[in-house]
């Protein structure tokens, strides 16, 4: 079904600006050969909707969509940086969709996550990180602000300040540090560390 879907780009928005009962959220892979590592989060307008929204949609007989980037501004970056950012974008989409497999797919086997939650420091393997995330509940959205990407051949680092929203309300902010390795042409996360501060 998704392969035949016509995606009309109508702008990058934060979904918290939209009425969530009007839209279905899906992840549309860009390159099937890369699995779900490279893609776009898409809101599809449901066939029947009510209420008003403040977006000027492109009219189409096929489908109306909104593309969501949890890392805004990627389209202005060179291709090699977008490739490095793709796993992080997919993790954030998986968090929003409550999709543990999507999140798990972005890690190297044996990868790790270190979460600083004062006064605790949590050191987790990939499975521990994934199972710690909620499987339902409030709408979760994490947006990266002006990430810095360093690349040397087949290793890379992302320094990524973020804002985290629960049901559209800013909940906490912090920084992600993501280490990645390139394996068979695909960037995968080897380790992630983050901190957070309530707002």
The domain tally of the chain equals 1
CATH number reported for the structural domain that contains residue 149 in this entry: 3.10.450.50
Task: Name which of 14-18, 153-157, 192-196 the model is least confident about.
Answer: 14-18
pLDDT digits (tens, 9 = 90+) for 84-98: 999 999 899 888 888
Six-digit token string for 16: 């918290």
Chain CA centroid to CA 197, Å: 20
Q: What is the mean pLDDT of the chain?
A: 76
Question: How far is residue 3's CA from residue 155's CA, in Å, rounded to a whole number?
Answer: 31
Measure the CA angle with vertex 77, ends 73 and 83; round to 5°.
105
Percent of the chain whose pLDDT exceeds 90: 49
pLDDT digits (tens, 9 = 90+) for 137-161: 888 899 999 999 999 999 999 999 9
pLDDT band for position 124 (50/70/90)?
very high
Q: Which residue segment(s) compose the domain that 47 sits in?
A: 2-198
CB count in 10 Å sphere of residue 91: 26
pTM of the shown model:
0.73
Which positions ≥6 away from 122 have C-beta within 8 Å?
Answer: 113, 114, 115, 116, 132
pLDDT digits (tens, 9 = 90+) for 68-84: 688 888 888 999 999 99
Is the peptide bond preceding residue 163 cis, with omega within 30 degrees of 0? no
């Amino acid at each position: 079904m998704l392969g035949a879907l016509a995606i009309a780009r109508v702008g990058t928005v934060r979904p918290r600006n939209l009425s969530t009962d009007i839209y279905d959220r899906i992840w549309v892979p860009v390159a099937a050969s890369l699995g779900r590592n490279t893609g776009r989060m898409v809101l599809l307008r449901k066939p029947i909707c009510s209420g008003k929204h403040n977006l000027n949609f492109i009219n189409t007989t096929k489908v109306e969509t909104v593309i969501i980037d949890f890392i805004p501004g990627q389209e202005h970056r060179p291709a090699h940086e977008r490739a490095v950012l793709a796993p992080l974008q997919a993790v954030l989409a998986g968090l929003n969709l409550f999709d543990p497999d999507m999140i798990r797919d972005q890690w190297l086997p044996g990868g790790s996550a270190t979460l600083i939650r004062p006064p605790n420091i949590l050191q987790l393997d990939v499975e521990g990180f994934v199972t710690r995330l909620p499987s339902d509940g409030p709408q979760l959205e994490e947006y990266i602000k002006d990430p810095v990407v360093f690349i040397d051949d087949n290793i890379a680092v992302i320094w990524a300040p973020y804002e985290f929203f629960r049901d559209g309300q800013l909940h906490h902010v912090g920084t992600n540090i993501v280490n990645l390795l390139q394996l068979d042409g695909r960037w995968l996360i080897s380790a992630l560390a983050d901190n957070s501060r309530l707002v």
